[in-house]
Amino acid sequence: MAILSSLSKQKDLGLLLLRIGVGAFMILHGLPKLMGGPDVWNGVGKSMGNLGVTFVPVFWGFMAAVTETIGGLFFLIGLWYRPVCILLAFTMLVAGAKHLNAGDGWGGASHALELMCVYIGLVFVGPGAYSVDKK
């Protein structure tokens, strides 16, 4: 029984470290987009065109910037964890599609698509014991 308790604590610590590292980098990715204003949001939002959504790109760009910045913060602290993971996974899907359609190949899209897979996997795993959701 003590071994299982130790493994659970190690898993929770691992999830905490993962949330801190990935969440911090997501915030660093999103904050310049969020602070960039409508011109930046328009450019980011045009990426939705790769999925056939071409209306109001400023809105979609703003939503991507908020998802990366505020969603990254919520991911880091483990607040509304599963919905945030789903939103971040979708944002990374759009980013991956943008890179693929821009001709960047799998190498250019791999970072976004890898993060998409991480977020999808973490939807099933949960935030761990050291999170706001668990308190």
Tens digit of pLDDT for each residue in 81-121? 999 999 999 999 999 999 999 999 999 999 999 999 999 99
Whether 1 is in a domain gets the answer no
Tell me: the pLDDT tens digits for 7-36? 788 999 999 999 999 999 999 999 999 999
The domain tally of the chain equals 1
Residue at 45 is within a domain: yes
For residue 131, is it left (φ>0), alpha (ψ between -120 and 50) or beta?
A: beta
- Measured CA to CA, the distance from residue 34 to residue 41 in angstroms comes to 8
Q: Does a structural domain hold residue 117?
A: yes
pTM of the model: 0.93
Indicate whether 133 belongs to any domain. Answer: no
Residue among 22, 15, 11, 21 nearest 115 (CA): 22
